[in-house]
Structure 1
Amino acid sequence: MVVVEGWLLDADYITENGKAVIRLWCKDEKGIFVAYDRSFQPYFYAIKEEGVTAEDIMNLKIQKRKEVISPERVEETTAKNLGREVEVFKIYAKHPQHVPKLREAVGELLEVREADIPFAYRYLIDKDLACMDGITIECVERTGSFRSYEVKNVKRNPKDDFPELKILAFDCEMLSAVGMPDPEKDPIIVISVKSGDFEDIINGDDEREVLKRFVKAVKDIDPDVIVGYNQDSFDWPYIKKRAEKLSVRLDIGRDRSELAMRGGRPKIAGRLNVDLYDIAMRSIDVKIKKLENVAEFLGTKVELADIEAKDIYKHWTRGDREAVLRYARQDVLNTYFIAEELLPMHYELSRMIRIPLDDVTRCGRGKQVEWLLMSEAYKLGELAPNPREAGEKYEGAFVLEPARGLHENVICLDFASMYPSIMISFNISPDTLVIGKCDDCNVAPEVGHKFRREPDGFFKRILRMLIEKRREIKKIMKKLDRESNEYRLLDIKQATLKVLTNSFYGYTGWSLARWYCRECAEATTAWGRHFIKKSAQIAKELGLEVLYGDTDSIFVKKSGLNLEELKKEVRKLIGKLREEMPILIEIDEYYSAIFFVEKKRYAGLTADGRIVVKGLEVRRGDWCELAKRVQKNVIEIILKDRDPEKAVNYVRKVIEEIKSGKVPIEDYIIYKGLTRKPSKYESMQAHVKAAMKAAKKGIVYTIGSKVGFVVLKGTGNIGDRAFPSDLIEDFDGDSIVDVDGNRYKLDKDYYIDNQVIPVVMRILERFGYSESQIKGREQKTLDAFW
C-alpha cells in the first residue's frame, strides 16, 4: 500500500467485465497518473409511499436488447426533502447505463430523485472531491507503461493555488475556394499549435501528413488542457471527418483512445478540452464574438496577418503561402493568450462546484450554482429536486423614472450584494417557505410570502458561507502586494465567489432550476423594491435629488455642490440608510457628467475620465459598424464637450459622408448568426436570405456562422435586398460589384434612416431633438439641454 498526493484534474469511468470503474486523472510533480476506484456503485433515490416495498423494486425486470436490467440492491433509509425528513429507497444499479431504464420503471411506482446525476460526478460529490483541487489516495500501484494505481481510500486535500497545467492551443485552416469549407471535400492545409514557448505551424498539401503530425504534436506535448475557439462545433468535427476519410487515427487520449463525440461534444480521455467560444458567449461583452474581437476586448490581440480568411484560397493556390501561415499563427496566438486570460477564474469555478473544467466552461450561471447546491445538499442529507421544465414569471426590480437632460456632479450609490443580503437577512429559501399561518415568520412586502426565521434555510447557509469566505479573502488581500502571485490567486477566488453569490437570486427564478421557487424570487425582489423606494425617500428628506434608481443602485446630486461637497452629504445618507436597512451601501462611482435615456439606459463620464455606458451600446446583430461608431461618438461628445448641438452636427456630417460615398463598405456590413440551417427557418430573415443567395454561388454557411450582408436599393423587403458580403468584390462608395462583375446600388437611405438615425435618436430625443432637426439645420439654444 502506498499514499500518493496530487491534483485532481478530471474524473470519468470505463467499463471492465460489465462493471463501471471510476478513473481519476491526477497530476503531481512527476506528471500525470490515473487512479482506478472499483468500489463505487451507481444509485438513485425514490421517496417511499405506502403499498410499495423494497421487494417490489427488486422484482422489476426491464428487457433491453439481449440483457435484462434489474436493481442490484435496495436500501431503506431517510433523507431530507426541503428540510423535512422523509423515508426513501436507495436503489443501486449494476451499471450507470442501467439507471435511465430503472428510473423509468421505478418512476411508475414512486417519485424518483437524483437519477440524472452523471456517474463520475456522483462520485465526486459523495467522496467530497473537487477537480482542480488536491487529492490524497491510499492505493496499490499497478504495473504497466502508464503510472496508475488501484484506489483503496481517497480524500480531498485542499490547496491554495492552482496546478501547473500544460495548455495547448490549436487552430485549423482549410482550403475552400468559396465560403465555408465542407469536410466532405475541402482539405485541411494548416493546423497551428502553441504550447508555452513551443509553436508549430503544421502545413502542406499532403493532408494525411498534416493530420498525422498534429496527432504526434499532441502526444509529444502531452497537454493537460487543449483549447481552441469554436473547436467543439467546427475544428474537432472537421478534423474527425477528414481523419476518417484518410484513415488517420486520432488516438490523442492519454489512454491512447481516440477522440470521441459524446452528446455532440468532443471528449479526450485524460485531457480537458475547453472551447473558449463557450466562455466568450457567456461572459465577454462584445457584439460579434469573433476571435480577434474577443482578443482585442481582453487586451491580448496579436496582429501579424495582412490577409483575411476569405483570402486563404487565393494566396495558397498562387504560392504566397507565407501570408497564410502568418494568418494561422495570428489565430493560434490570439487563442492561446485568450486562454491565459480566461481560464484561471474557471479553474476556481471548477474547484468550487467540483466538476471538470471542460464542463464548467459549458455551463451557464444557473447550472454552476446548481452543481454547488448539489454538493452542499449531499453534505446536509438533502435530496435534490428533479429538474423543472418551465416556471412562471414574477415581478422584478423597482425602477425609478430617470430625470431628463445632462447632469453634472452625480454620485451612484450601490447596495452591495443586495439580493444575497436580502436572502440571508430574511432567511429566504425553498425549505423555509411557509404556506398558511405562521407565528414567527418574515413576511415579504407587497407579495406577502412568509419564511420561517429559524432554523437557517439551505440557501442562507450556503450564501453566508460564500460571503464569509470572500470577506476573509479580501481581508488577507489588503495586506498583500497587488503585483504578487498570491494576491492574483486570491483575487480570482474572491471574484469567483462574488459571481456565484450574486447568481443565487437569479437561480431561484430560473425556470429550469431544480430548486426553482417562484415565491423566493418574488419575495427577494419585493424586499429589493421596498429598500430602493425607502432609500429614495430618505435621500429626498436629506435634501438630495434622486435622478434615477434601478434594482440595487440610486443616483443622487444636489444643485450647487461640487463632487467633494456632495461626497460629505452622501456619507450622511449612507449612515442613515445603514441604520434603517440590513444591507451594505457603498459609493459605486463619481460622475462629473451623466445623462439618462430611459430605464436601464445611461451614459456617464467618471471623475477620473472613463466613459461608462449601460444599455445604450449597439450590440445586436442587426446594426452595422457605422451605427455603432456614430452612437459611441455622440455619447462621447455630449459627455466630454457638454454640447448636444455639436453631437447633432457630427451626425449631420456623417450623413453627408454617406451620401458622398466616403464610408467604406466594411462599415455597412450587418452580421447575424445562423442558429439553424437556412431551410429550417420559418421566418425568412435578412441574414437567412443572404445565406441562401450565397449558397447558390457555392458559399455554404454552417450553423453558428456569422452571415454578413449589405442592403441594396430595389423593391421588396430588407431580406429581398440583403446581399451577402462574401460575394462583394469591389465598392466605389455608391455601388458594389459582385464576383461575376454585376453592379448593384447600395441603399444609402436605408443606412441613414434605419441605422444611423435610430441609434442616435435614442439619445438626442432626450435633449429635445426631432429626427427632422437632426437631418436639417434648425438650431436649439443651450437652455434646452439643462
Structure 2
Amino acid sequence: MNQRLPGFLLTSSWDDDPDSGETLLTFWWSTGQGAVKTNIRQPAICFIPRSWQQKARDIAATLQWPVRIEAVLLQSFAARPVAACYLPHSYVYRWRDVLVEQDIPCWEVDIRPTDRYLMERFVYGAAELQGDWQTQPGYGQLNNVRLRPTRYQPQLKALSLDIETSFPRQGEPERLFSIGFYGTGLELVIMLGEPQQSSPQLQLVADEAALLQRLVEVIADYDPDVIIGWNVIQFDFAFLRRKFLQHQIPFVIGRDGSELSWRSSKRNPERIFLQIAGRVVLDGIALLKNATWQFESFALDAVAEHFLGEGKLLHGDDRGGDIEHLFVHDKTALGQYNLKDCELVWRIFEKADLYNFAIERSHMTGLTMDRMGGSVAAFENLYLPRLHRQGYVAPNIEEGYHAQKSPGGFVMNSRPGLFEHVLVLDFKSLYPSIIRTFKIDPMGLIEGLKGRWQGADEQQLVPGFFAAVFHKEKNVLPDLIRQLGEWREQAKRENNQPLAQTIKVIMASCYGVLGSEGCRFYDTRLSSSITKRGHQIIQQSSDWIEQQGYDVIYGDTDSVFVWLKKSVSDQQADDIGQQLSQGLNQWWQQRLQQEFALPSYLEMEYETHYQRFFMPSIRGEETGSKKRYAGMIRNRNSAELEMVFKGLEAVRSDWTPLARHFQKELYRRVFYGEPYQQWVREQVQALLARQLDDQLIYRKRLRRPLTAYQKNIPPHAQAAAKLERWRQQQGLLPRFADRGGWIRYYIGINGPHPVDIPDVVIDYSHYLEKQLMPLADAIFHYTGENFSEMAGQQLYLF
C-alpha cells in the first residue's frame, strides 16, 4: 500500500549493501503513525580533477573496486573542472588514500552520506515520506521511499533515565546499584536487592545481569523516541555499556531489535558517541549549552534550583558516600533519590523548552537532535547544496589561506572611574551584518580574486583584509544570512522563541565556523575580513559619537559605552540613545554607499542606560579593566532600580560568599547614595567577632585526580590533600584518589583547611586583606576613601 505522511528525523545511519554494492542509508522518523524506518540505496560521492578521470578509472579497474567515475558540471576552488566518483562508502577513505599516493586531489570525502542525501534535497529535520507501507513489529517501514522537504512538529515520547553507582576507587570493581525511569505514566526504579521486597515503584532484582535485562525490557515496553538525562551519554550510558560488556549481555535497545553502537572520539578516547536505531539520546547539559544558557555550575542541583526552585534529595560534597550508605541501609530512600533526579531532568527539559529548541535546531540545520555542537556540520548542511548549485565543490581542510593570523573581537581600552549616565549602544548581530554588508563569503572570495586577476570592473568587487577581495553578486553566504534574519524576525512575530533562539545561534556561529581550523572553508582572509572590519566599525563609530559631544569610555566587540557627561532624566537619556543609534545608522549608510557603493545592513541599537556606572582599573595599575564593570539601571518592566555586575567578583563562584555579598551591597549603597561607612565598619566587626564564619567557605573543584597536583599546588588541592589524610586516620574511604571533585575549605592560620575537619582556626586577616579590602578599595579609589581607615581601630587592633 502506497502511503504519504510527514515525519521528523530521529536517527540516521549507513552501511554498505553487499547485494547491490551501494551504500544503504537508514533513516528513522517520528510520525503520527508511530516510528517509521526508511532505507534508501545511494552510493557515496567524492570529486577529483577531471583531468585525472581516466587514470582514476584505470586505478579502480586494476584494484577491481566498484568505482564509477563521471564528469560533472562543477569545478574546484582552484577553477579545475571535476569528475564525480560514485562508490560504496566503505571504499571512500581507501579510495582517497590510493589517489593521494598518485598525487590526485580528492574533495568532499568526509561528508556523511546521510547528510549529503538530505541536504542536496533541502530536507532539514522533517520530510514528507512517500513509499510502500510495510508493518514491522513495533514500527512501520516505507519501501521505495521518496523524500520531499516539509515542516512537521512531532509529538515526541520521552523517557528520563538515571543510574546510581558505587564511588570509583582504584583496585575495586565498579558496581551498578539502580536505574531510574521517569516518563508519562512511568515512575520506576530497578535496584539490586531481595526481589521479594519489591514494590510497584521500586523493583528489586537479584544481580546486575538481571538489572541490565530489566533495563532492556523497560525501554522496549515504554518505546521512547527520546531518552534524556544529565551527563547521560558520557556517564550513564558509558557505565551501562561497560556493564553489558562485562556480563556479555547484548545491549539491545534499538527499535528494530539492534544493539546500541558507539564510537570513541579520536582526540579523547574516553568520550563516546551513541547510535540507537530509532531513538535519540539527549543530554541536558549539552543541550542547555547549545541553547546558550549560562550557569556558574551545570550540576543538576544548581540548574534545577534555577529553573524549578528545588534540587536533589541528597546534598553535600560526599554524595558518593551518601549513596553507598543508602544502598546498604535504606534502599527505599535511595530509590526516591534516584527517581527524583529523573524527575528533575524531565521538568528542566519542559521548563527550558529544550525539546522545541532541539526540534527547531534540527529543522534549521538538518542535524539530528543529538548532534550537539556541530557548528561546522550545521554550516555545511546549509552552505554546500547552495555552493554546488553555483557550480563549485568544497575545498578540503587546510586548503585555504592561513599564513597570517586573524585577530579576535575588538576590546577597547577602558577609562576607569565612577560615572553618572552611561549609555550602551549595541550593533545588532554585528558579525552576520558585516558578512551580509561586505559580501564576505568563501565562494565570493574565489570569484573576487578571479575577477581582479581577470581585470573585472572594480565596482563589482569589495576589498577585504589580508588582500581579500569579494564579488558583490557571485556569493552564497550573504543571501543565506539575509534569509536566516528574515526567518528569525518571523519567528519573533509568531512568538516562536525556540526557533528565534536557534536561528540566532546559527547566525552567530557563521563567523566562528569560518575562523575554525576544523572547517573546510577556514581561511584567515575570511575571518579577518570580519573581525578587522568589526574593529574598524567600532573605532569609527566611537569617533562619530565623540564628534557629537560625548565620550566613549569602553568598547567591546559589538558595543560602545557612552558617557553623557551631564545630568539627564531617564527619558532624556533614552532620547539621546535613540538619536545616537539612528544618526549612526544613517552615517554608516551614507559612508558605505560613498566608499563601496554598498547598502549597509549594520544596525546600531540603543540598549541600556546606566544611571551610575563603575569601570574598575586593573588591580595595582591605573589602566582600565576589560569585560568587568558594574552599573545601576532602571528595570523597564518594574521601573525599579537594580544592580548589574559583569565579570566582577560578585558574580564569580571562586570568591567566598562573604566577598560576593560585600561587593554587591557596598556598590549598591555607593550607587544609590546610601550611607555605607558605618556599614563597612560593622561588616569588619562582624567578621572579627566570628559572626560571618559561614560565609568564609571557598568552594572549588578539582578537575583532575588529586595525585595530578604535584608542583605549585593550589589552595583547593592542598585542602583536598589534608582531607584525604584526615579521612584515612578516621578509617574512611578516600574521596579524591581516582578523580576530581568539589572541595569546601577555609583559609586557616595553617593554610587551607577543609570544612569537614573540625576545630579550624580561621585566618581572619586573610579575609580582610584578600577578600574585603581589594573589593572596597577598587571603588574607594574614586570616592576618595580608604578601606583601612574606614575599618578603623578594629582593623589595627587585629
Q: Does 1:79 align with 2:74?
A: yes
Determine helix, strand or coil for the equivalent of 2:370.
helix
Contact 1:35 1:150 in 2 (8 A): yes
Among 327, 345, 358, which residue is 1:346 paired with? 358
Q: Which residue of 1 aligns with 2:94?
A: 101
Determine helix, strand or coil for the equivalent of 2:397.
coil
Determine helix, strand or coil for the equivalent of 1:111.
coil
Q: Which residue identity is paired with 2:608?
A: E
Determine helix, strand or coil for the equivalent of 1:440.
helix
Q: Which residue of 2 aligns with 1:468?
A: 486
Q: Which residue of 1 aligns with 2:513?
A: 507
Contact 1:302 1:333 in 2 (8 A): no
Q: Which residue identity is paired with 1:279?
A: L
Among 282, 285, 294, which residue is 2:303 paired with? 294
Among 574, 578, 582, which residue is 2:581 paired with? 574
Q: Does 1:336 align with 2:346?
A: yes
Q: Does 1:614 align with 2:646?
A: yes
CA separation of 1:203 and 1:110: change in aligned 2, threshold 3 A: same
Q: Which residue of 2 aligns with 1:279?
A: 287
State how far apart, in whole Å, the 2-side matches of 1:330 and 1:637 are.
41
CA separation of 1:126 and 1:705: change in aligned 2, threshold 3 A: farther
Q: Which residue of 1 aligns with 2:526?
A: 520
Q: Does 1:382 align with 2:388?
A: no
Task: Using structure 1 for the length normalisation, give the TM-score.
Answer: 0.82
Shift of 1:35: 1.1
Determine helix, strand or coil for the equivalent of 1:278.
helix
Among 155, 161, 165, which residue is 1:170 paired with? 161
Shift of 1:225: 0.8
State how far apart, in whole Å, the 2-side matches of 1:539 and 1:333 are.
53
Among 34, 39, 57, which residue is 1:36 paired with? 39
Contact 1:709 1:722 in 2 (8 A): no
Contact 2:301 2:312 in 1 (8 A): no
State how far apart, in whole Å, the 2-side matches of 1:646 and 1:154 are.
77
State how far apart, in whole Å, the 2-side matches of 1:350 and 1:241 are.
31
Contact 1:627 1:756 in 2 (8 A): yes
Contact 1:4 1:136 in 2 (8 A): yes
State how far apart, in whole Å, the 1-side matches of 2:387 and 2:652 are.
39
Q: Which residue of 1 aligns with 2:594?
A: none
Q: Which residue of 1 aligns with 2:613?
A: 594
CA separation of 1:746 and 1:323: change in aligned 2, threshold 3 A: farther
Q: Which residue of 2 aligns with 1:58?
A: 60
Q: Which residue of 2 aligns with 1:784?
A: none
CA separation of 1:33 and 1:616: change in aligned 2, threshold 3 A: same
Contact 1:403 1:547 in 2 (8 A): yes
Shift of 1:80: 3.9
CA separation of 1:46 and 1:415: change in aligned 2, threshold 3 A: same
Q: Which residue of 1 aligns with 2:415?
A: 403
Q: What percentage of aligned pairs have identical amino acids?
A: 24
Contact 1:71 1:102 in 2 (8 A): no
Cα deviation 1:285-327 (Å, max 9, x = unaligned): 2222211112233x23434625552453464256334432332
Determine helix, strand or coil for the equivalent of 1:731.
coil
Cα deviation 1:125-145 (Å, max 9, x = unaligned): 2343222x2x22332234642
Contact 1:391 1:511 in 2 (8 A): no
Q: Does 1:731 align with 2:758?
A: yes
Contact 1:250 1:258 in 2 (8 A): yes
Q: Which residue of 1 aligns with 2:196?
A: none
Contact 1:192 1:201 in 2 (8 A): yes
Which stretch shifts more, 47-56 or 404-413? 47-56
Cα deviation 1:536-560 (Å, max 9, x = unaligned): 2332333333332222222232402
Contact 1:711 1:750 in 2 (8 A): no
Q: Which residue of 1 aligns with 2:226?
A: 225
State how far apart, in whole Å, the 2-side matches of 1:621 and 1:422 are.
36
Gap runs ≥5 in structure 2: 194-205, 265-271, 589-599, 617-624, 636-640
Correspondence 1:153-232 to 2 at 5 A: 153-159=145-151, 162-176=153-167, 180=168, 185-205=173-193, 206-208=206-208, 209-232=210-233
Cα deviation 1:611-667 (Å, max 9, x = unaligned): 33323257777545555454444444444456675785576357536xx37423883
Cα deviation 1:108-138 (Å, max 9, x = unaligned): 222221111223222222343222x2x2233
Determine helix, strand or coil for the equivalent of 2:539.
helix
State how far apart, in whole Å, the 2-side matches of 1:128 and 1:46 are.
24
State how far apart, in whole Å, the 1-side matches of 2:666 and 2:16 are.
63
Shift of 1:226: 0.6
State how far apart, in whole Å, the 2-side matches of 1:424 and 1:373 are.
15
State how far apart, in whole Å, the 2-side matches of 1:493 and 1:165 are.
17
Q: What do you get for the CA RMSD once the two structures are aligned?
A: 3.7
Shift of 1:406: 2.9
CA separation of 1:443 and 1:362: change in aligned 2, threshold 3 A: closer
Shift of 1:162: 2.4
State how far apart, in whole Å, the 1-side matches of 2:571 and 2:553 are.
18
CA separation of 1:451 and 1:183: change in aligned 2, threshold 3 A: farther
Q: Which residue of 2 aligns with 1:482?
A: none
Q: Which residue of 2 aligns with 1:325?
A: 335
Task: Using structure 2 for the length normalisation, give the TM-score.
Answer: 0.81
Shift of 1:168: 1.0
Determine helix, strand or coil for the equivalent of 2:472.
coil
Determine helix, strand or coil for the equivalent of 2:85.
strand
Contact 1:757 1:771 in 2 (8 A): yes
Determine helix, strand or coil for the equivalent of 1:512.
coil
Q: Which residue of 2 aligns with 1:114?
A: 108
CA separation of 1:762 and 1:11: change in aligned 2, threshold 3 A: farther
